[in-house]
Amino acid sequence: MNTVDASVVSMPRAQAAWKRLLLSEYLVLVLTVVYFLAMWTIVPEIATLDTQLDILSAMMPLLVVAIGQTFVLIVAGIDLSAPSIIAMASVVGASVLTGDGGYASGTGFEIAAGILAFIAVGCAIGTFNGICTTRFNMPSFIVTLTTMMFFSGAAIWYTTVHTDASSIGNLPRAFVAIGQDRVFGLPISLAVVLAVAGTAHFVLSRTVYGRWLYAVGLNPRAAAVSGIPVRRVIFWAFVISGMCAAIASILYTGRLETGTPVLGQRILLDVVGAAVIGGVSLFGGKGKILWTIFGVLFLTVIDKSLQLLGLPIASVFAIKGSIILSAAIIDAVRHRLLVRA
Amino acid sequence: MKLTRRDFTVGALIAAGTAGMPVFVKAQGTKTVALLFDSLVSPFWVSGIEIMRAKAKEYGWETLENISDFDDNKQFEHVKAMIGRKVDGILIIQTDSKAVIPAIRAANEANIPMVHFNRPPAESDAYSVAIQADNRKIMADTVEFLVSEAKKLGGKYKACLLIGDLGDVNAIQRRDGFFDVVDKNTDIIEVVARISTEWNADKAFAGLTNALQANPDINFLVTSSDFMHPQIEQVLQTAGKWHKRGEPGHVLFGGFDGDEGAYARLKDGYLDACGVQNLFLEVDMAFQAFKDMWDGKKPAKLLLDPGFVITQDNLAAKQEEMWGYVVWKKQNGG
Amino acid sequence: MPENNSQPLLAAEGLCKSFFGVEVLHKVGFSLQAGRVLGLVGENGSGKSTAMNIIGGVHQMDAGRIQFDGADYRPKGPRDAAKQGIAFIHQELNLFRNLSIAENLFITDFPKLVPGLPFIDRRAARASAAKLLAAVDLNLSPTTVVNRLSQGERQLVEIAKAIGGKARVIIFDEPTTSLTTRETGRLFDIINRLRQQGIAIIYISHILEDIMRLCDDIVVLRDGHVVGTAPKSEMTIEGMISLMVGRRIDQLFPPREAPVTPGTPVLEVRGLTQHGTVKDITFTLRAGEVLGLSGLMGAGRSELARILFGIDSFGSGEIVIQGTPVKTPTPAACMDHGMAFLTEDRRAEGLMMEAPIGHNIALSSLQTYASGLAGVIDRTRLDGDIAKISASVQIGARDIARTLVKNLSGGNQQKVVIGKWLLRAPRVFILDEPTRGIDVGAKNEVYKIINRLAAGGAGILMISSETEELIGMCDRIMVMAHGEIRATFERGGFNREEILRAAMWDGIRNAAQ
């Protein structure tokens, strides 16, 4: 503790400790730990090493998408197209990679070509989103909603052009390894995600572009008057988000050994939810990679615990809803404290 | 105002200390089976899971459930969670026949038997058992009954088939079953319309409307799934062709699945025959497969449910075996 | 003359109020008589607004008592206060902008067709709205949507609403900040009329000339204490200022430390025209010069500044910054040529309110501190320079890296904006209303900074609505009206009346016709 304000000191110690916890940026992590311990008594399997590793690998793709989303949320936008980017990249990438007549199959550089295809799809859709939002001043909600619809459909169409089946399989083993294999007991995907998270954290906290992102989110007019290229800043946020979704698509596709046009269709709420639970503001200007990581961890632990419980679906939704609601209430209380402090 | 690393360590240590608490102990010898569905959107799946729950209870097994909401990745997570719970068997209804393969491998690795219910996986080196209705044969039997009715009534017939999504093995097999019989009876039946519905009720509606405009004299109709009955009824009614058996202008009508709507239309005399997937038998077969695998046996990768055809002739005798009848009875306060 | 009996209409004594352990009001007392105007002055944070918020029912007092019309008065909330006859006209007006004037006037209490039933009698509403608008000389249809009104007209609607609510006390909080001179004059006429009708007025303002012109009694607050109460006849502007700041300011406008010797031109504007805003603007700003830009609201001063800094586009003309013609100015291009621009609305365009001081100061200079392809910021160097800048503009905050700008007073916020530009060491600095809404002490400090910049060889273009301020600070004053420069005055030839006349040329000409 390097700063202690007077009101905290004057309170009884226990109360002060509670307040300190509530105001801490580690609050979501603490809540996760508390929840985890409570669940431990009900499903002890949650504490096994295998489950821990499962949680870790389940987190990874979601986290990459959420990191991309964080960039867009910081400039007060939203990227609803992430799921369709995942799906589109998955089928395009798989069509390049697949042993069943893939474009790059048998060339010897199919892995590189495939990964390039994934990233290219992500960047292309992100670029489109960015251009529409910045050049035509359209709200990102509308732009990305329409790209989501368009590319969800396009992914299915693309699949039907390439195969009679509903998905593209037979992907090379070396590619599948990215999503599935472990090195020294840790998922390879972890290394990918750590690299992405580390870079994102560095960009946000240390670079000019990072500071510009926050400035544009906090007050775009003041940013423009201060000579910041507001449109360019927003544009790149969407490209980054698209690229992150494409990286997530690589992990998902590798894990399932299949390029499918319905990949990730349901993760949007988890992505935005995780970022917001972590503390990223939907109104822009506020967000950290660490917060997003905590948010994703929180949701993944809840999901995994509910999966382990194996309850009928109605109760699963009720439980998940009430947990997220309590987290939101705690956050509201914390916000009130922060405003007063 | 920050929580320091030291605070955190202290918290973690306290947490670790309290962790050695007594936990629920699973009753010895009880089997636990995981039921992993991809959705509960149609009566077929709702009935299926209810039958499974009841049957498991009868055997004294515990069940765990997870619904993936058509998300292949989430379902993979479910399989891993169930492996984490060390269940004794995993029954799965996957969305994509290829994307499920890593899940089968994971189950193989953990040595947990896996059974696919109603949808077989794509070819792979991984081992699992799939229970599937013998679509082709059931469909052929159904059409056979309709043909015999047609012969009894005499005259020539113009036929129409509503086909499912050709990406789905089930749809292809049912189509083939239809033509197995029709191709042998070209003297009295001419197929004038094949409607590709892609398992979409709206497309079925539009396709059938168009077919009836082109061939108003269609009088022999088969659908690859019963869920399209309401659309069929509506189109036929509009065209003035919705008549009971024995009434003039009745269209010979065959269905597939055996849901509660099919039962009601059979009972009312609009539907002549319906190929029934024997849901009760399929659950029995799935659970038997688990038992066999627990005993160290290795059942075949694909087990077929022979199903049966329910017709106006055997309705009273067979209805108890028809899952749609059970649903119907419940809905109608039976 | 209004009645002036000794029984006060509203009397407060011993008002105390603390927020989170910080006392903002300490035993504040004052009294108000029917038909008189009480002026309330004090620096920002002196407790004026808090005291008025207690009377208006927004806050509850911790201790003390208020007597209203001989009875104890302790409003439960703003609505309760309004019901008892106390109206509070806030600085940010509380009108629903998408509703009509009539709807706004009766939003809480529409006339009903049948008493007790929720059916609005629109005709009656319009008729009584028209009557209320006449009372404030507002010649508009009651069905006009508030969105289409000017700031001054909206204020009159608020006053009409207060009259309609049978208010006996009306509190004005900085009512003239966003009004034109003409609108201000109209407002004062109406306040005088209200006074004659026996309504008591509390008038809060930074503009001491207005206080002297309008008020009967004056109360001066400093740090939550009443430091002076006197009838106007016993008070002077100098006296109010010294009471407010607690020290004597001999001169509000500090003298130039260096003799003014205008140097080379740093900004040359020739024939700048943009349809509808500015017309044929030509002037030269030299190094070391403070050039004032006077004019009424809407004369095109801010619009000119925005064009010069590349925020808005222009039709024809030429802008030369430090000898380089800038063909298509953008903020970034202008900044590269050494220009800086302090906007008139610091909340909307100058600051990130939710960010700390340091981030705000760094905002326009980040690239200067970045290296490499990734643009990594040299934080040590940046933080060092930020500390130097914030010390030189004397921002009153303990922790530059953590204190959020929204928690600063107006004066300190303005210093943050100035600091942001000083970090770039600008050669041309356009200041649009640099002292708006900040207290006397901070104003003085801003003046000193401007002098220091000019002494350092920067050219300053200073836009202000306070003619006194321009006369006190500038070497030359240009007066704009209707998008044109109508007159230029040299120091020594400054004349308040002449300047005003030039600004209002059209008004006078129209009146003469």
Q: How confident is the model at residue B22 (pLDDT cuts 50, 70, 90)?
A: very low
Residue B326's closest CA among B60, B318, B118, A313?
Answer: B318
Q: How confident is the model at residue C502 (pLDDT cuts 50, 70, 90)?
A: confident
Question: DSSP state, B319?
Answer: G
């007159």: which residue's tokens?
C487
Give me the mean pLDDT over the C70-95 stretch. 85
Angle of CA points C63, C68, C71, to nearest 5°: 85
Asked if the model's pLDDT at residue C335 lies above 70, the reply is yes
Residue B69 contacts A, CB cutoff 8 Å = yes
Q: Which residues contact A330 (CB under 8 A, 6 or more apart)?
A: A22, A27, A31
Residue C245's closest CA among C212, C208, C216?
Answer: C208
Residue B66 contacts A, CB cutoff 8 Å = yes
Cα distance between the two ends of chain C: 35
* Residue type for position C432: D
Distances (CA, A) of A46 to A55, A306, B61: 9, 10, 22
Query: Of all residues in chain A, what percent carry a pLDDT higher than 90?
Result: 65
Helices (H) and strands (E) in chain C, counts: 17, 22
Residue A38 contacts B, CB cutoff 8 Å = no
pLDDT of residue A2: 44
Region of residue C424 (phi > 0: left; psi between -120 and 50: alpha; otherwise: beta)? alpha
Residue A49's CB is within 10 A of a number of other CB atoms, namely 8
CB contact under 8 A, A167 and B98: yes
Q: Which residues contact C306 (CB under 8 A, 6 or more apart)?
A: C312
Tokens of C464: 């202000």
Give me the mean pLDDT over the B147-163 stretch. 93
What's the CA gap between C343 and C347, in Å, rounded? 9
Angle of CA points B245, B249, B252, to nearest 5°: 55
Tokens of C463: 């836009």
Q: How confident is the model at residue C267 (pLDDT cuts 50, 70, 90)?
A: very high
Sheet containing C71-72: order of strands: C22-32, C10-19, C63-68, C71-72
Mutate to test the interface with C, among A207, A225, A281 (most CBs of C within 10 A): A225
Dihedral (C-alpha) C18, C19, C22, C26: value to the nearest 10 degrees? -20
* Residue type for position A321: G
3+ Cβ–Cβ pairs closer than 8 Å linking B and C: no
Tell me the residues of chain A between 294 and 313 that have a Cβ less than 8 Å away from chain B. Answer: 303-304, 307-313
Q: How confident is the model at residue B84 (pLDDT cuts 50, 70, 90)?
A: very high
Nearest CB partner across the interface for B65, out of A1, A61, A310: A310
Beta bridge partners of C172: C89, C203
Residue A227 contacts C, CB cutoff 8 Å = yes
For A231-261, what is each residue's pLDDT tens digit? 999 999 999 999 999 999 999 999 999 999 9
CB contact under 8 A, C362 and A211: yes
What's the CA gap between A302 and A325, in Å, rounded? 13
pLDDT of residue C253: 73
Q: Which is more confidently placed, C315 or A315?
A: C315
Q: What values do phi and psi take at A179, rounded to 5?
A: -90, -25
What's the CA gap between A147 and A139, in Å, rounded? 13
Asked if the model's pLDDT at residue C136 lies above 60, the reply is yes
CA dihedral over C405, C410, C416, C417, signed as positive or negative: positive
| Range from A40-49, B72-81, C86-95 carrying the lowest mean pLDDT | C86-95
Chain A residues with CB under 8 Å of C352 CB are: 214-215, 218-219, 222-223, 285
| Range from B134-138, B262-266, B308-312, C43-47 carrying the lowest mean pLDDT | C43-47
Distances (CA, A) of A258 to A81, A112, A306, B158, C336: 21, 17, 26, 42, 53
Q: Which residues contact B21 (CB under 8 A, 6 or more apart)?
A: A40, A41
Tell me the residues of chain A between 266 and 285 that have a Cβ less than 8 Å away from chain C. Answer: 285
Chains that touch C (3 or more CB pairs under 8 A): A
For B169-228, what is each residue's pLDDT tens digit? 888 899 999 999 999 999 999 999 999 888 888 899 999 999 999 999 999 999 999 989
Distances (CA, A) of B269 to B141, C38, C218: 19, 93, 97
Question: DSSP state, C348?
Answer: I
Identify the burial level of B88 via C-beta atoms within 10 angstroms of its C-beta, where 0-12 means exposed, 13-18 middle and 19 or more buried. middle
Distances (CA, A) of B133 to A277, B228, B254, B299: 46, 19, 17, 16
CB-based contact C441:C43 (threshold 8 Å): yes
For B245-265, what is each residue's pLDDT tens digit? 989 999 999 999 999 999 999
Alpha-helix residue ranges (DSSP H) falling in C322-362: 331-336, 357-362
Angle between helices A140-162 and A82-97 in degrees, nearest 10: 30
Q: What values do phi and psi take at B264, rounded to 5?
A: -60, -40
Give me the mean pLDDT over the C65-92 stretch. 87
Give me the mean pLDDT over the C224-250 stretch. 78
Asked if the model's pLDDT at residue C187 lies above 80, the reply is yes
Q: How far, in whole angstroms, is CA C463 from its chain's centroid?
A: 13
Q: How far B251 CA lies from chain A's nearest CA (Å)?
A: 33
User: Long-range contacts made by residues A334-337, C-beta under 8 angstroms, separation at least 24?
Assistant: A334/A22, A334/A23, A334/A27, A337/A19, A337/A22, A337/A23
Q: Which residues contact A70 (CB under 8 A, 6 or more apart)?
A: A200, A275, A280, A287, A288, A289, A292
């030189």: which residue's tokens?
C392
pLDDT of residue B2: 46
What's the CA gap between A336 and B216, in Å, rounded? 71
Q: What pTM did the predictor assign? A: 0.78
Q: How many CB pairs under 8 A join A and C?
A: 82
User: Long-range contacts made by residues C387-393, C-beta under 8 angstroms, separation at least 24?
Assistant: C389/C361, C389/C419, C389/C422, C389/C423, C390/C357, C390/C358, C390/C361, C390/C415, C390/C416, C390/C419, C392/C419, C392/C422, C393/C418, C393/C419, C393/C422, C393/C445, C393/C449
What's the CA gap between C6 and C31, in Å, rounded? 10
CA dihedral over B264, B265, B271, B275, signed as positive or negative: negative
* Residue type for position A311: L
Dihedral (C-alpha) B74, B78, B81, B87: value to the nearest 10 degrees? -170
For C437-449, what is each residue's pLDDT tens digit? 787 778 888 999 9
Give me the mean pLDDT over the C220-225 stretch. 86
The b-or-e profile of B288-300 (16+ CB within 10 A means b, else e) is: ebbeebeeeeebe
Asked if the model's pLDDT at residue A333 lies above 60, the reply is yes
For C99-112, what is each residue's pLDDT tens digit? 888 888 887 777 77
CA dihedral over C166, C167, C173, C177, signed as positive or negative: positive
Tell me the residues of chain A between 144 and 173 that have a Cβ less than 8 Å away from chain B. Answer: 164-169
Angle between helices B323-331 and B260-268 in degrees, nearest 10: 80
User: From chain C, which residues contact A within 8 Å (Cβ)?
Assistant: 20-21, 309, 311, 330-332, 334-335, 341, 343, 348-355, 359, 362-364, 366-367, 370, 374-377, 379, 399, 402, 420
What's the CA gap between A126 and A82, in Å, rounded? 9
Distances (CA, A) of B185 to B253, B272, C173, C401: 17, 18, 95, 88
* Residue type for position C3: E
Alpha-helix residue ranges (DSSP H) falling in B165-241: 169-182, 201-214, 229-238
Residue A127 contacts B, CB cutoff 8 Å = no
Asked if the model's pLDDT at residue C321 lies above 50, the reply is yes
Q: How confident is the model at residue C241 (pLDDT cuts 50, 70, 90)?
A: confident
Tokens of B75: 């379902």
Q: How confident is the model at residue B157 (pLDDT cuts 50, 70, 90)?
A: very high
Angle between helices B101-110 and B72-84 in degrees, nearest 10: 10
Tokens of C40: 């309330």
CB contact under 8 A, A340 and C362: no
CB contact under 8 A, A219 and C375: no
